[in-house]
């Protein structure tokens, strides 16, 4: 039995997962028009290969990766490209997107399936993962192939599959683990082979016993570990600490602790890409929240507008006050429901007007509860003050760049201060000034 | 008696020794400074605003003394300071072109549509980073006054329509507001220019009309009417080349959206037409 170490800090917000955690994932038919953004990942925007008026097949390459840190984009349906233009994205900014009119035929492009992908060598696996446009599906969207190729001379000891899903409300990963454990375990093996990891650990929070049972049934030599339910257990650095006892150095990356962390959704996508030859063109999205009539999990083609998702979940039962893409802790509020589902959209949540009100902040009373909960061992109250007073040097000295933006500080603050807003501000300014001086 | 003499002599000789040491250190470790630098620094405003592009007045003085910066490089001091700096260096004074800040957005609360409510911290840069703020136009002024907060010369205020206004008499063109604006709406323009295209939206005309009543819809009328070819169209936005503009106001008259704005009191500049 593996000894699980607790990471420092963290909180336990009410989980609110019950409304979607026991219903199977439904497949959502593709809508008539899809908007596929060219930037769904961290890095450079993909370069379009199609033009307005082109006929495309399902799974066809629409845009290729531009440079090393980028990912290609594929067509989620067969149909016709009607426009390539800036469209609203979930980030609130306009992103160049390919608009596709669905012909309803679902004509697939030729797929290169492989009955036993474990036979493939590491290099081929990495290449196919990159070609399938797979990015970190837990929310960060870092191209998976880049994570799998650590710098020369670094050996990877552990491949960690992240099944924590510590954000409240979300159950997309949970249902995927219950229903597709076989694919996840196979994906984990492929990922481990690709990065040369000696050992595979799947970490799951202990509030999902059915997922743990289902994974253990398939696991074989793969270690499935139950972790205490505590936000942000699914944070990369926190998960590494809990499972291996190792710490990722300040401003460092997981490979420096000999680990590669991948989300369960990513593992599933890897299996689909290598075994069935299907690029990443759909994902599981949890549609829930107090004002959603019939909360559910859907397999959604990428490019489906949030509006269609909400309608498929029975629409709004009351006037919504706020719609959030992603989890309630880290997700971004949406102004426009025309924004499409991307590779990193894990959930669409809608909350009532009263729930969405931002409380008036009171002065900081220096109670240091934010310090107690900060999983990155920072002093959020100091960082907030430095951000507010634009003292970027001090913010950097106090480790602003190590903030993982989990929002525990803002959640726990008895004065209801928007701590994370100012820390993010400080981070952005520090990165900007570093960019300017280099 | 004896004790007094001993202590006086010992302390006295120690003092003499240290004085000698200090005097020698002063000679050996002396840093040669150009007296001109101090003289220049003396005549500069001393607010260390950084508007000249150097890290404060001292750095600017050093740069001027070594010939890296022009004598009229201090935007805050203007012609007076340029003259004094030139006098220190013994060169002819070149009066700087006085610039002022111009806000290139007229989409206040009355003109521009909101796409939702933003209730985070009151700061344009934070609002911009949070889903791009609450204005439906993703290029326009957010109205949270980061530029006004950044202004050290009381040369800006927010009007009741939620837009910043520049008090041109107070503006020193230090560029702090330009830096503070996350949407690059504020630019520094020569003082004598009265015609400004007050829009930064790169959206298509149709989209602009949906979100703002005073935005540039890229209709090209100003481009066609301009007698000196000062206006050109790029990425769905009319842009003005101030070097060619003569303040003739033809474009102001034809602009259907009233995006092109004329400020009273600016004279017609005829020489420019001859130059181009």
The model's pLDDT over A219-260, given as tens digits with 9 standing for 90+, comes to 888 999 999 999 999 999 999 999 999 999 998 999 999 999
What is the band of A2 on the pLDDT scale with cuts at 50, 70, 90? low
In a domain, A361, yes or no: no
Contacts B184 to A, Cβ<8 Å: none
Q: What is the pLDDT of residues A63-106, one digit of tens each?
A: 999 988 999 999 999 999 999 988 888 887 889 999 999 999 99
Partner-chain residue, chosen from A332, A336, A429, that has the shortest CB–CB distance to B115 = A336
Q: B121 and A334: CB-CB below 8 Å?
A: no
Note the pLDDT of residue A210.
Answer: 94
Note the pLDDT of residue B215.
Answer: 93
**How many domains are contained in chain A?**
3
Query: What SS3 state is found at A321?
Result: strand
Residues A97 and A61 in one domain: yes
Asked if A213 and A205 touch (Cβ cutoff 8 Å), the reply is no
Which residue in chain A is spatially nearest to B119 when comparing CA positions? A358
Between the CA atoms of A272, A285, A374 and A248, what dihedral angle is there, to the nearest 10 degrees? 10
Mean pLDDT of chain A: 92
Q: Does the CA dihedral A265-A266-A269-A274 come out positive or negative? A: negative
Residues A181 and A125 in one domain: yes
In a domain, A360, yes or no: no
Residue A204 exposure: Cα atoms within 13 Å on the Cβ side: 27
Residues A125 and A258 in one domain: yes
The residue among A249, A276, A303 that closes a domain is: A276
The residue among A332, A355, A378 that closes a domain is: A355
Mutate to test the interface with B, among A88, A91, A92 (most CBs of B within 10 A): A92
What is the arithmetic mean of pLDDT over A109-137?
Answer: 92
Note the pLDDT of residue A366.
Answer: 95
Domain with CATH 1.10.15.40 in chain B: 35-89
Query: What SS3 state is found at A310?
Result: helix
Residue A119 exposure: Cα atoms within 13 Å on the Cβ side: 5
Q: What is the pLDDT of residues A377-424, one digit of tens each?
A: 999 999 999 999 989 999 999 999 999 999 999 999 999 999 999 999
pTM of the model: 0.82
Which residue in chain A is spatially nearest to B125 when comparing CA positions? A425
In a domain, A6, yes or no: no
Please tell me the distance from the alpha carbon of residue B157 to that of residue B134, in angstroms, as a whole number: 21
Using the structure block, give the residue that is written with the tokens 């992908």: A117
| Residue ranges with strand state E in A111-258 | 158-163, 199-205, 223-227
Find the range with the poorest average confidence among A18-32, B81-95, B185-199: B81-95
Note the pLDDT of residue B272.
Answer: 56
Please tell me the distance from the alpha carbon of residue A309 to that of residue B13, in angstroms, as a whole number: 91
Q: Give yes or no for residue B70 having a pLDDT over 90.
A: no
Q: How many angstroms away from the CA of B183 is the closest CA of chain A? A: 12
Note the pLDDT of residue B275.
Answer: 46
The residue among A222, A242, A276 that closes a domain is: A276
Please tell me the distance from the alpha carbon of residue B181 to that of residue B187, in angstroms, as a whole number: 10
Asked if A216 and A207 touch (Cβ cutoff 8 Å), the reply is no
Asked if B155 and B171 touch (Cβ cutoff 8 Å), the reply is yes
Q: What is the pLDDT of residues A256-297, one digit of tens each?
A: 999 999 999 999 999 999 999 999 999 999 999 999 999 999
Contacts B132 to A, Cβ<8 Å: 91-93, 335
Please tell me the distance from the alpha carbon of residue A267 to that of residue A187, in angstroms, as a whole number: 4
In a domain, A35, yes or no: yes
Note the pLDDT of residue B268.
Answer: 63
Note the pLDDT of residue B94.
Answer: 78
Using the structure block, give the residue that is written with the tokens 């220190």: B88
Q: B126 and A425: CB-CB below 8 Å?
A: yes
For β-strands A296-301 and A282-288, DSSP reports them as antiparallel
Q: Give yes or no for residue B80 having a pLDDT over 90.
A: no
**A332 DSSP β-pair partners:** A325
Instruction: Read off φ and ψ for residue B211, nearest 5 degrees.
Output: -110, -15
Residues A272 and A180 in one domain: yes
In a domain, A336, yes or no: yes
Q: What percent of chain B is predicted at pLDDT more than 70?
A: 96
Residues A105 and A140 in one domain: no
Between the CA atoms of B30, B31, B35 and B40, what dihedral angle is there, to the nearest 10 degrees? -140
Asked if A93 and B130 touch (Cβ cutoff 8 Å), the reply is no
Residues A265 and A121 in one domain: yes
Please tell me the distance from the alpha carbon of residue B25 to that of residue A199, in angstroms, as a whole number: 65
User: Which distant-in-sequence residues (6+ apart) come within 8 Å of B19 by Cβ?
Assistant: none
In a domain, A174, yes or no: yes
C-alpha B53, offset from chain centre? 10
Asked if B72 and B84 touch (Cβ cutoff 8 Å), the reply is no
Which residue in chain B is spatially nearest to A426 when comparing CA positions? B126
Residues A62 and A187 in one domain: no
Q: What is the ipTM of this complex?
A: 0.78
Asked if A6 and A13 touch (Cβ cutoff 8 Å), the reply is no
Please tell me the distance from the alpha carbon of residue A303 to that of residue A339, in angstroms, as a whole number: 8
Contacts A336 to B, Cβ<8 Å: 115
Question: How is domain B97-191 classified at the architecture level of CATH?
Answer: 2-Layer Sandwich (3.30)
**Among A418, A315, A414, A399, which Cα is nearest to A358's?**
A418
Q: How many angstroms away from the CA of B127 is the closest CA of chain A? A: 9
Q: How many angstroms away from the CA of A216 is the closest CA of chain B? A: 41
User: Which distant-in-sequence residues (6+ apart) come within 8 Å of A199 by Cβ?
Assistant: A157, A158, A159, A192, A223
**Among B35, B133, B31, B144, which Cα is nearest to B88's?**
B35
Which residue in chain A is spatially nearest to B124 when comparing CA positions? A425
Residues A244 and A126 in one domain: yes
Mutate to test the interface with A, among B118, B124, B129 (most CBs of A within 10 A): B129
Q: What is the pLDDT of residues A13-23, one digit of tens each?
A: 999 999 999 99
Note the pLDDT of residue B142.
Answer: 93
Q: Please give the CATH number for the structural domain made up of B192-276.
A: 3.30.70.20
Q: What is the pLDDT of residues B210-265, one digit of tens each?
A: 999 999 999 999 999 999 999 999 989 999 998 888 888 889 999 999 999 887 76
- A296 token code pair: 């559910």
Peptide bond into A232 cis (omega under 30): yes
Residues A286 and A269 in one domain: no
- Residue ranges of alpha helices (H) inside A134-208 are 144-148, 172-179, 181-195
What is the arithmetic mean of pLDDT over B56-77?
Answer: 88
DSSP state of A21: H
User: How many residues does this entry show for chain A?
Assistant: 438
Q: Which fold has domain B35-89?
A: 3-methyladenine DNA Glycosylase II; Chain A, domain 3 (1.10.15)
In a domain, A101, yes or no: yes
Please tell me the distance from the alpha carbon of residue B159 to that of residue B184, in angstroms, as a whole number: 19
Note the pLDDT of residue B276.
Answer: 41
Q: What percent of chain A is predicted at pLDDT more than 90?
A: 82
Domain with CATH 3.30.70.20 in chain B: 97-191, 192-276
Contacts A422 to B, Cβ<8 Å: 121, 126
Note the pLDDT of residue B141.
Answer: 94
Note the pLDDT of residue A3.
Answer: 66
Residues A81 and A127 in one domain: no
Query: What SS3 state is found at A119?
Result: helix
- B231 token code pair: 């206006």
Q: How many angstroms away from the CA of B135 is the closest CA of chain A? A: 10
DSSP state of A198: S
Q: What is the pLDDT of residues B148-175, one digit of tens each?
A: 999 988 999 999 999 999 998 889 888 8
DSSP state of A149: S
Residues A185 and A299 in one domain: no
What is the band of B267 on the pLDDT scale with cuts at 50, 70, 90? low
Residues A71 and A56 in one domain: yes
- A92 token code pair: 């609130």
Give the residue numbers spanning the domain of A399. Answer: 369-437
**Among A169, A164, A161, A163, which Cα is nearest to A189's?**
A161
């Amino acid at each position: 039995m593996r000894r699980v170490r607790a990471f420092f800090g963290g909180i336990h917000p009410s989980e609110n997962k019950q409304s979607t955690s026991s219903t199977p994932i439904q497949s959502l038919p593709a809508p008539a028009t899809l908007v596929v953004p060219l930037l769904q990942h961290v890095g450079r925007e993909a370069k379009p290969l199609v033009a307005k008026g082109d006929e495309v097949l399902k799974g066809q390459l629409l845009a290729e990766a531009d440079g090393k840190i980028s990912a290609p984009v594929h067509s989620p349906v067969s149909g016709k490209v009607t426009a390539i233009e800036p469209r609203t994205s979930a980030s609130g900014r306009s992103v160049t997107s390919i608009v596709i009119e669905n012909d309803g035929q679902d004509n697939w492009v030729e797929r290169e399936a492989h009955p036993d992908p474990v036979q493939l060598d590491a290099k081929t696996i990495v290449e196919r993962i990159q070609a399938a446009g797979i990015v970190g599906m837990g929310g960060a969207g870092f191209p998976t192939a880049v994570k799998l190729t650590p710098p020369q001379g670094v050996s990877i000891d552990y491949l960690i599959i992240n099944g924590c899903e510590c954000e409240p409300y979300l159950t997309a990963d949970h249902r995927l683990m219950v229903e597709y454990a076989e694919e996840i375990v196979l994906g984990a093996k492929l990922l481990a082979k690709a990065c040369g990891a000696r050992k595979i650990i799947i970490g799951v929070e202990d509030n999902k016993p059915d997922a743990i049972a289902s994974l253990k049934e398939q696991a074989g030599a793969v270690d499935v570990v139950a972790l205490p339910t505590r936000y942000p257990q699914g944070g990369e650095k926190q998960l590494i600490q809990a499972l291996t006892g190792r710490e990722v150095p300040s401003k460092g990356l997981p490979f420096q602790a000999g680990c590669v962390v991948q989300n369960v959704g990513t593992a599933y996508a890897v299996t689909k890409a290598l075994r069935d030859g299907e690029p990443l063109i759909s994902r599981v999205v949890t549609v829930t929240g107090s004002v959603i009539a019939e909360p559910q999990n859907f397999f959604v083609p990428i490019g489906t507008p949030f509006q269609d998702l909400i309608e498929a979940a029975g629409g709004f039962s009351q006037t919504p006050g706020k719609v959030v893409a992603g989890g309630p802790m880290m997700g971004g509020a949406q102004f426009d429901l025309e924004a499409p589902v991307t590779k990193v959209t894990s959930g669409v949540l809608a909350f009532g007007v009263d729930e969405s009100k931002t409380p008036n902040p009171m002065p900081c009373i220096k109670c240091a509860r934010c310090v107690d909960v900060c999983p990155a061992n920072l002093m959020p109250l100091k960082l907030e003050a430095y951000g507010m007073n634009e003292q970027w040097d001090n913010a950097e000295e106090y480790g602003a760049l190590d903030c993982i933006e989990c929002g525990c500080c803002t959640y726990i603050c008895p004065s209801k201060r928007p701590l994370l807003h100012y820390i993010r501000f400080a981070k952005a300014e520090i990165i900007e000034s570093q960019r300017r001086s280099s | 008696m004896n004790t007094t003499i001993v202590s006086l002599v010992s302390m006295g000789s120690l003092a003499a020794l240290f004085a000698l040491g200090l005097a020698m250190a002063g000679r050996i470790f002396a840093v040669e400074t150009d007296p001109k630098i101090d003289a220049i620094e003396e005549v500069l405003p001393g607010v260390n605003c950084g508007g000249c592009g150097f890290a404060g007045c001292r750095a600017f003085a050093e740069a001027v003394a070594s010939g890296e910066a022009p004598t009229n490089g201090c935007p805050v001091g203007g012609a007076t300071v340029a003259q004094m700096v030139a006098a220190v260096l013994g060169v002819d004074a070149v009066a700087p072109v006085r610039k002022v800040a111009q806000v290139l957005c007229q989409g206040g609360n009355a003109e521009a549509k909101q796409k939702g409510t933003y209730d985070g911290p009151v700061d344009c840069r934070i609002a911009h980073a949070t889903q791009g703020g609450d204005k439906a136009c993703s290029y326009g002024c957010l109205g949270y006054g980061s530029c006004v907060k950044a202004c050290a010369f009381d040369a800006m205020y927010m009007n009741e329509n939620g837009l910043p206004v520049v008090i041109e008499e107070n503006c020193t063109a230090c560029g702090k507001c330009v830096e503070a604006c996350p949407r690059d709406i504020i630019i520094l323009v020569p003082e004598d220019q009265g015609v400004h295209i007050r829009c930064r939206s790169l959206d298509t005309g149709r989209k602009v009309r949906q979100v703002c009543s005073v935005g540039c819809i890229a209709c090209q009328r100003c481009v066609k009417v301009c007698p000196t070819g000062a206006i050109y169209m790029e990425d769905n936005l009319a842009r003005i080349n101030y070097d060619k503009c003569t303040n003739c106001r033809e474009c102001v008259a034809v602009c259907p959206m009233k995006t092109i704005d004329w400020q009273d009191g600016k004279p017609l500049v005829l020489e420019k037409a001859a130059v181009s």
